[in-house]
Structure 1
Amino acid sequence: MAFRPRGPRPGPPKSAEEIDEIVRKLRNEQTRPENYRERSLKLHGWICAKCGREFELSNLHLLTVHHKDGNHNYNPPDGSNWENLCVYCHDDEHSRSILADYLAGKDKKR
């Protein structure tokens, strides 16, 4: 008895155009990490949540997304873990937690 693979039987070979179309569809549906920055900018606007500075396209690169809980992998679609902060406020936000840890005696080197 000859070996017969299970599953659906393959159909006729696909043309190059059909293969290209399949690849295009797969790339569009690909489960890549969603661009949470673009979504946060749409949801929260082009303004720093801390200092209130408003941004334009020419300086939008200075507006960053801060993850409130510190987990960059937690990106709920409603944007509840994000706040848009300018680079200066974002640096301040992170340096505050470093200073607080230092003052509380939480040395990360231990």
Structure 2
Amino acid sequence: MKKRLFHIHQRQAKKAGDYESIDRVLKELRKPGQKGNDYRERSLKIHGLICARCGREFDEKTRHLLTVHHKDGNHLNNPPDGSNWENLCVYCHDDEHSKELLAEYPREER
């Protein structure tokens, strides 16, 4: 029988303190009113329930289909006037981000 050339490492049990610190951080991030946490609601209020690309209008029942797109790509840039945001429906938002991916995709030279 051949000798094994690798070792199987057993997972070490997490300490209770590890989970407490993670829970504390998550709790802080989820606090209402934290800077940046409410930009979606602010954008919907400023720009209305309409997609900036396709012009589709939404109501309270379908507002979950609207997303807030950061024009400069920086999710921490949330000015109070909403100048870095545009409301996009989920389809236009996906399209916007797939354009960025396709632009980075290497082209074959013919």
TM-score of the superposition, structure 2-length normalised?
0.64
Name 1:32's counterpart in structure 2. Answer: 34
Indicate the structure with greater helix content. 1
Please give the alpha-carbon distance, in whole angstroms, between the structure 2 residues aligned to 1:64 and 1:96. Answer: 17
Q: 2:89 aligns with which of 68, 86, 90?
A: 86
The 1:99–1:77 alpha-carbon spacing in structure 2 relative to 1, beyond 3 Å, is same
Please give the alpha-carbon distance, in whole angstroms, between the structure 2 residues aligned to 1:31 and 1:67. Answer: 20
Aligned pairs, number? 76
Moved over 3 A (4+): none
Q: For residues 55-96 of structure 1, what are the alpha-carbon distances to aligned partners after superposition, in whole Å with 9 as ceiling and x for unaligned?
A: 011110000000000000000011010000000000000000
Alignment of 1:86-105 (within 5 A): 86-103=89-106
Name 1:11's counterpart in structure 2. Answer: none
Q: 1:44 aligns with which of 47, 50, 56?
A: 47
How far is 1:51 from its partner? Answer: 0.2
Q: Which has the larger radius of gyration?
A: 1
Q: Return 5+ residue gaps in structure 2 as ranges.
A: 1-31
Q: CA RMSD in A?
A: 1.9
Q: For residues 27-80 of structure 1, what are the alpha-carbon distances to aligned partners after superposition, in whole Å with 9 as ceiling and x for unaligned?
A: xxx861240011101110000000000001111000000000000000001101
Q: Return 5+ residue gaps in structure 1 as ranges.
A: 1-29, 106-110
1:50 aligns to what SS in structure 2?
coil
Q: 1:57 aligns with which of 56, 60, 63?
A: 60
Taking only the aligned residue pairs, the percentage that are identical comes to 70
TM-score of the superposition, structure 1-length normalised?
0.64
2:88 aligns to what SS in structure 1?
strand
